[in-house]
Structure 1
Amino acid sequence: MRFMVIVKANADSEAGVMPSQDLLTRMGHYNEELVKAGVLLAADGLHPTSRGARVRFTGNRRDVIDGPFSETKELIAGFWMIQVRSLAEAIEWVKRVPMEDSEIEIRQVFEAEDFGVEFTPEAREQEERIRAHLTAKH
């Protein structure tokens, strides 16, 4: 099972305050543990929303909203993509994140089999081609 582990933004991350050297060191060690365990698929931090934008879809209309965005509790500051056997295992890994005063959300990623018969053989083949292409690029 794949899970996206979402680090929620806070006032510091939205202000562009960079993590301390100590936190960067501890996070590096934590990420190495994930790699050694074979569960880490990807991980990155995100710039503040002041450097981003949103696109709102209303029918055929597309509205671009420039950051910053005011409600920090719903914003994302970074993420990990991990592959583990269960939500319980994902939770155990997240409990080890060396952060303080943060909130992290864990969400399972959909797999092809989750979509049922609506995910046609043609759509499966297309998905496999896309994944093969992405794997080849890396």
Structure 2
Amino acid sequence: MRYMMIMQVSPAAAATAAVDLDMEKVVAEMGAYNESLQKAGVFLTAEGLSDASEGFRIDFDAVPPAVTDGPFAEAREVFTGFWIIEVASREEAERWALACPLGPGVALEVRRVNEFSDIDLPEDNEWLSKAQEWRAANA
């Protein structure tokens, strides 16, 4: 099973981190964590995300959909990065998430990535078949 671990930082923690963090130490801790994921054979990918001020949101409640540039004042947390891991169970995903070297003001949301078998479609569905081909080509 694949799980996505999404790093969320409160705006207050993000502002403090920008001033107080020793980035060399943070990179070393995250590097060691990522290396442990790789050595265990569960690491698929991990990426950091740019600041919300560089992003945008599309609201599909509007017609036509409305585009709003970041930052987003109503945000209770900022997404700063993610990992995708492949593990045997939810419990294993939880163990890896608990081992992540994060601190106060930061949370990980962990969600299972759907498999094709989770989609209620016939196996011969054209788009499901194409999606399986795309995934195989990019594996």
The answer to whether TM tops 0.5 is yes
Instruction: Please give the per-residue CA displacement for 1:69-92, whole angstroms capped at 9, x wherever unaligned.
Output: 123434311100000011110010
Say if 2:123 and 2:129, in contact at 8 Å, map to a contact too. no
**Residue in structure 1 matched with residue 14 of structure 2 by the alignment:** 13
Which residue of the other structure, out of 41, 44, 49, is the alignment partner of 1:41?
44
2:76 maps to which of 48, 61, 73: 73
Q: Percent identity?
A: 35
For 1:106 and 1:30, how far apart are their aligned partners in 2? 16
- Deviation per CA, 1:13-69: give whole Å up to 9, x if none: 368827621121011000000011111111011111111111111365121100001
* Mapped pair 1:126 → 2:134: no
More moved, 109-118 vs 68-77: 68-77
Q: Which ranges of structure 2 fall in alignment gaps of 5 or more residues?
A: none
What is the TM-score normalised by the length of structure 1?
Answer: 0.86
CA distance in 2, matches of 1:14, 1:71: 16
What's the secondary structure of 1:3's corresponding residue? strand
Tell me the distance in 2 between the aligned counterparts of 1:78 and 1:50: 15
Residue 64 of structure 2 corresponds to 61
Figure out how many residues of one structure are paired with residues of the other and give that number.
135
Length-normalised TM-score, structure 2 = 0.85
Question: In the aligned structure 1, how far is the partner of 2:62 from the partner of 2:55?
Answer: 23
Q: Are 1:96 and 2:99 matched, yes or no?
A: yes
Please say which of residues 59-68 and 42-51 is displaced more in the overlay. 59-68
**Residues 117 and 96 (structure 1 numbering): CA distance in 2 closer, same or farther, change over 3 Å?**
same
1:116 has 2:120 as partner: yes
Runs of 4+ aligned structure 1 residues displaced above 4 Å come to none
- For the residue of structure 1 that corresponds to 2:76, the secondary structure is helix
Q: What amino acid maps onto 2:92 in structure 1?
A: E
Cα drift, residue 133 of structure 1: 2.9
The alignment's C-alpha RMSD in Å is 2.2
